[in-house]
Amino acid sequence: MGRGLYERNGTCAVVMNILAIEASCDETAAAIVKDGTEVLSNVVASSAEMHAKTGGIIPETAARQQVKSIMPVVDEAMSFAKVTQNEIDKIAVTVGPGLIGSLLVGVETAKTLARLWNKPVIPVNHMMGHVYACFLEQEGKEYIVPIFPAIALVVSGGHTDLIYMKGHGETELIGTTRDDAAGECFDKCARLLGLPYPGGPSISKAAEEYLMKNLGNRLDLLPRPMISAKGRHEMDWSFSGLKTAVLNRVKSAESINAKEVQRLAAEIQEAICDVLVSKSLKAVRKYEPKSFLLSGGVAANRNLREKFADEFSHNLTGITLHVPEPKYCTDNAAMIGAAAYYLQGPASWESVFVDPQLSTTG
Ligand code: KG4
Ligand code: ZN
């Protein structure tokens, strides 16, 4: 139960503050979210720099960092939001999918706090967290609540999923990747080019440097896997062939200079964005939703955001495109607070467990 009253659009309702915890991979995050939309605080500690040294995530290193960061991050989220434990109504936590060691740190912390403070826990699916980042208010922008039916595209390091949503909790997976996820493709290609982890931001930066000097040049060197697939796999992706094509280009070149790295980065980004947009548009034409929700770490990519914005403002004018601020695209806890508000009923701490293999619509 909430404690006070607030006003929105002239109506009064009960306030609900959720303390949300996200620790499914290499980010340790906590946030206080009011009424599923307003972010009172959003704190993220990342161990990405550590993983940059090894070129990728080592699960045990990630879990050890989670243990170190979790309580300071929760404390900071509470103090930044200026809320006390009495002003917290529920505790939300990511239960999966993710790395088991990392997930356990978040879930056991949430359960311990729930027991000590006598609060209910809301278990949240990380993928639904990404989707519900689209329900968060954006700084300096008028709030528009996404309307159903909606199609959500979640593009992250482990998933590339298209989800049809009839309403809250009424979801169907309508497209997915047959092999690597889009973020994984960015990360693996970056490694092939000698660019640092995480690969998405590195490729994006190198691509922007190329595009600044070569705007208007064709970027059609690399394949667009499955772009014309029909039938059962019409809305599925495949990214491993793209990675192999990059590997072959790198292998066949005697040496590869900085300028060529930038060009290849732009080619990779363009190929990935092209197939993401193309399949999404197919889904939109087939399902005719009222909203399209773009989310996940890869949705922080400027090129992808611009391509989607362009399509929706010129060719799909009746459908509202929702894209979270970049800081709510990559892993964060505010999105977990939003999903918890709209989706699941609370549970007692004894009945909440991690599920590293949890499916997107599970
Ligand atoms: O959602 P996320 O933070 O974590 C997972 O749930 O996986 O997504 C991480 C992925 C990584 O593969 C990372 O390279 C990619 O998102 N990413 C980006 C950008 N920022 C993060 N990819 C392309 N462009 C970006 N700006
Ligand atoms: Zn994620």
Specify the pLDDT at position 118. Answer: 96
Residue 256 CA to residue 118 CA, distance in Å, equals 59
Cα(298) to ligand 2 centroid in Å equals 9
Give the closest ligand to the alpha carbon of residue 160: 1
Cα(187) to ligand 2 centroid in Å equals 14
Contact 127, 360 (CB under 8 A): yes
Give the closest ligand to the alpha carbon of residue 269: 1
SS3 231: helix
- Using most ligand atoms within 8 A of CB, pick from 330, 331, 360 the residue to mutate for ligand 1: 330
pLDDT of residue 334 exceeding 80, the answer is: yes
Residue 218 CA to residue 214 CA, distance in Å, equals 9
Residue 60 CA to residue 37 CA, distance in Å, equals 33
Q: pLDDT grade, residue 7 (50/70/90)?
A: very low
Q: 107 or 254: which carries more pLDDT confidence? A: 107
Summarize the confidence of residues 38-54 as an average pLDDT: 88
pLDDT of residue 75 exceeding 90, the answer is: yes
Specify the pLDDT at position 202. Answer: 97
* Domains along the chain with CATH numbers: 7-138+329-351 (3.30.420.40), 150-323 (3.30.420.40)
Q: Please tell me the least confidently modeled range out of 20-24, 55-59, 152-156.
A: 55-59
Q: pLDDT grade, residue 13 (50/70/90)?
A: low
Residue 206 CA to residue 130 CA, distance in Å, equals 26
Cα(331) to ligand 1 centroid in Å equals 8
Cα(330) to ligand 1 centroid in Å equals 6
Q: Please, which residues have CB within 8 angstroms of residue 209's CB and are 6 or more apart in sequence?
A: 262
Please identify every residue whose CB atom is under 5 Å from ligand 2, which is an ion: 156, 331
pLDDT in tens, 135-161: 999 999 999 999 999 999 999 999 999
Query: Which residue type does 303 have?
Result: N
Among candidate residues 141, 148, 77, 144, the one with its CA nearest the CA of residue 106:
77
* Residue 223 burial by Cβ neighbours in a 10 Å radius (0-12, 13-18, 19+): middle
pLDDT of residue 81 exceeding 50, the answer is: yes
- Provide residues with CB under 6 Å of ligand 1: 25, 156-158, 183, 186-187, 198-201, 204, 296-298, 300-301, 330-331
Question: What mean pLDDT, rounded, does the chain reach?
Answer: 93
Specify the pLDDT at position 285. Answer: 95
Q: Please tell me the least confidently modeled range out of 46-55, 66-75, 174-183, 282-291.
A: 46-55
Cα(155) to ligand 2 centroid in Å equals 8
* Residue 192 burial by Cβ neighbours in a 10 Å radius (0-12, 13-18, 19+): buried
Of ligand 1's listed atoms, the one at least distance from the Cα of 158 is: 7
SS3 197: coil
* Residue 26 burial by Cβ neighbours in a 10 Å radius (0-12, 13-18, 19+): buried
The pTM (predicted TM-score) of the whole model is 0.94
Length of the chain counted residue by residue: 362
Question: Count of alpha carbons within 13 Å of 214, Cβ hemisphere only?
Answer: 17
351: which 2 tokens?
């009945």
- Using most ligand atoms within 8 A of CB, pick from 298, 306, 329, 335 the residue to mutate for ligand 1: 298
Cα(158) to ligand 2 centroid in Å equals 8
Give the DSSP letter of residue 237.
B
Specify the pLDDT at position 362. Answer: 81
Of ligand 1's listed atoms, the one at least distance from the Cα of 190 is: 14
Cα(126) to ligand 2 centroid in Å equals 6
Contact 160, 174 (CB under 8 A): no
Closest residue to atom 13 of ligand 1, CA basis: 200
Q: pLDDT grade, residue 254 (50/70/90)?
A: confident
Q: Please tell me the least confidently modeled range out of 211-215, 235-239, 330-334.
A: 211-215
Q: What percentage of the chain has pLDDT greater than the value 90?
A: 85
Q: Please tell me the least confidently modeled range out of 43-57, 82-96, 156-170.
A: 43-57
Is the peptide bond preceding residue 346 cis, with omega within 30 degrees of 0? Answer: no
